[in-house]
Amino acid sequence: YREQIPIDKGLDNSLSLMMEGYRYISNRREKFGRDIFETRLLGGQKAICIAGKDAAEVFYDEEKFIRQGAAPKRVRQTIFGEKAIQTMDGASHEHRKAVFMSLMSRESLEEVVHITRDEYDQFISRWEGMDRVVLFEESKELLTRVACRWAGVPLQEEEVKIRTNQLAALFDSAAAVGPRHWRGRQARNSSESWIKGMIEQIRAGNMETQEGTALHELAWYRDSNGKLLNSQVTAVEVINILRPIVAIAVYIAFCALAIHDFPEQAGKLTSKDDSYDEMFVQEVRRYYPFFPFAAARVKKDFLWKGHDFKKGNLVLLDIYGTNHHRDIWERPWEFNPKRFADRKDDPFDFIPQGGGDYHKGHRCPGEWLTIEVMKVSVDTFVRKMYYDMPKQDLNYSMMRMPSLPKSRVILTNIKRKL
Ligand code: HEM
């Protein structure tokens, strides 16, 4: 059978997308009573929006979708970079993805946990001497240090602030307009030339790197034709490791917010047993908005749920909406870490960092690292330090991408727990 899917009328609904943000797709799905509809976005292009577990399953079928030509220019010029893995398909994508996945071994993840603990330890000493700590700002710097140490990228003390701001501007600017967007483009240029210079030094034999680190493995990665990537694209991929580690600051801010807003659930964190910690951070990743949707293009014509998907169609998978979908989650608008107690892992129903297969598809290779860093953060907040949260505006916007508590989470009276 074939049927007409609902259409969100208008020549270009980009303004509604900007005004409704994370809820744009969910709002239309509710209005139409369907998990699929058509709209026009990003300069009037036709786009099909889909949500739910079945939608994620079809979206991550590499026979049906490709990424080439899916990411808009403003995204490639800020958060992704040109010729990044996010825009690749098929065998060449899989080949390059293997390097990213090789960086996520158990030992490597233990290393990132160790480094993150060490940085928190030093930051607590610094915070003890401060009247007021803006957690989001401090976390970005902490994570820049973590990212560079873990990836093997040398970072001079004098450049910590500037690199922090550059890496943060990359993920803060993709959906922004005006100065916030332009800061992102500038940051893209400066951070690429920083790492590009390093890659050239490494290849010229003027700089040592440690085997197993992201910098080393990407500098010497050869594609399926046996060729090194050019230094520009190599820099793009090194930044594809550094930038998202710094972006975990968004989740750290939301972890602190959840501890504050849901004292009953957070209360269970104080026990010595840390099995609840993982459930708590999983619920933070489900509940709060971060990535709104993923984009791909139809590879070849196919019929799905009565709708003709035509080669070249742009399709958006509602990530935020799928993480709040009623068919998947009981009382999706409740913050309830216990829902993760007896959940069976499914690659398509819990997708804050994408779905499907890590190696073959585009699912985030940094998902385990993100969970580990969040667990260290929660452990630090509840077991390693005392703090107060003075009156402040903790509301987070559903329009701003990425969303953040307005105050950026202010902490006072920080003292180490001994
Ligand atoms: C891809 C989210 C952290 C590296 C993705 C995707 C999402 C995502 C939604 C795209 C999935 C798709 O296109 O279908 C997040 C969030 C993070 C995070 C919310 C929290 C801060 C990280 C970390 C790293 C990382 C820590 C690396 C250390 C990447 C890379 C890709 C990716 C390289 C592209 C993968 C591909 O195209 O095959 N991430 N991510 N991310 N992420 Fe993450």
Q: Given this model, what pLDDT does residue 59 score?
A: 98
Q: Given this model, what pLDDT does residue 347 score?
A: 97
Question: What are the φ and ψ backbone dihedral angles of 97, each rounded to 5 degrees?
Answer: -60, -30
- Domain with 82 in it: what CATH number? 1.10.630.10
Tell me if 281 is assigned to some domain.
yes
| Atom 43 of ligand 1, nearest CA residue | 364
Going by the DSSP 8-state scheme, the letter that residue 351 receives in this structure is: -
The residue type of 75 is V
Closest ligand 1 atom number to CA of residue 361: 38
Tell me if 274 is assigned to some domain.
yes
The residue type of 108 is S
Q: Given this model, what pLDDT does residue 214 score?
A: 98
Q: Is the ipTM of this complex over 0.95?
A: yes
In the chain, how many domains are there?
1
Q: Given this model, what pLDDT does residue 270 score?
A: 80
Tell me if 304 is assigned to some domain.
yes
Closest ligand 1 atom number to CA of residue 237: 33
Q: Provide the residue range defining the domain that includes 131.
A: 14-416
Q: Given this model, what pLDDT does residue 237 score?
A: 98
Of 282, 364, 373, 375, best ligand 1 pocket probe by most atoms within 8 Å of the beta carbon: 364
What SS3 class is residue 415?
strand
Ligand 1 near 241 CB (within 6 A) = yes
Q: Which among 408, 402, 406, 407 is positioned nearest to 171, based on CA atoms?
A: 402
Q: Which among 243, 225, 232, 204 is positioned nearest to 96, based on CA atoms?
A: 225
Tell me if 2 is assigned to some domain.
no
How far apart CA 327 and CA 350 sit, in angstroms, is 12
For the chain, the average pLDDT equals: 96
Q: How far is the CA of 353 from the centre of ligand 1 (A)?
A: 6
> Taking a C-beta distance cutoff of 8 angstroms, is the pair 298, 270 a contact?
no
151 pLDDT above the threshold of 80: yes
Q: Average of pLDDT values for 369-381? A: 98
Q: Given this model, what pLDDT does residue 273 score?
A: 75
**Quick count: other Cβ atoms within 10 Å of Cβ 332?**
16
Q: How far is the CA of 196 from the centre of ligand 1 (A)?
A: 22
Residue 364 is encoded by which pair of tokens? 């985030």
pLDDT in tens, 158-198: 999 999 999 999 999 988 889 999 999 999 999 999 999 99
Ligand 1 near 291 CB (within 6 A) = yes
Tell me if 3 is assigned to some domain.
no
Tell me if 6 is assigned to some domain.
no
Angle at 306 between CA 302 and CA 309, to 5 degrees: 30
Contacts of 285 (CB under 8 A, 6+ apart): 251, 323, 352, 353, 370, 371, 374
- DSSP letters of 203-267? HTT-S---TTSHHHHHHT-B-TTSPBPPHHHHHHHHHHHHHHHHHHHHHHHHHHHHHHH-HHHHH
pLDDT in tens, 9-36: 999 999 999 999 999 999 999 999 999 9
Residues composing the chain? 418
First to last CA, the chain: 67
Angle at 67 between CA 65 and CA 71, to 5 degrees: 135
Tell me if 85 is assigned to some domain.
yes
Reported as a pLDDT band with limits 50, 70 and 90, residue 101 is very high
Ligand 1 near 50 CB (within 6 A) = no
For β-strands 314-318 and 65-66, DSSP reports them as: unpaired
272 pLDDT above the threshold of 90: no
Q: How far is the CA of 354 from the centre of ligand 1 (A)?
A: 7
> Taking a C-beta distance cutoff of 8 angstroms, is the pair 65, 311 a contact?
no
Contacts of 413 (CB under 8 A, 6+ apart): 386, 387, 388
Residue 274 is encoded by which pair of tokens? 């840390």
Tell me if 5 is assigned to some domain.
no
Q: How far is the CA of 289 from the centre of ligand 1 (A)?
A: 15
Reported as a pLDDT band with limits 50, 70 and 90, residue 304 is very high
Ligand 1 near 247 CB (within 6 A) = yes
H or E element in which residue 182 lies: helix 179-203
Where helices occur in 35-155 by DSSP H, the ranges are: 53-59, 73-75, 90-102, 106-128, 135-151
Ligand 1 near 382 CB (within 6 A) = no
Strands of the sheet with 314-318, listed across from one edge: 36-41, 45-50, 314-318, 293-298, 65-66
Q: Given this model, what pLDDT does residue 1 score?
A: 75
Contacts of 152 (CB under 8 A, 6+ apart): 209, 210, 213, 214, 215, 216
Q: Given this model, what pLDDT does residue 235 score?
A: 98
How far apart CA 29 and CA 15 sit, in angstroms, is 18
Reported as a pLDDT band with limits 50, 70 and 90, residue 42 is confident
> Taking a C-beta distance cutoff of 8 angstroms, is the pair 171, 79 a contact?
yes
263 pLDDT above the threshold of 80: yes
How far apart CA 298 and CA 292 sit, in angstroms, is 20
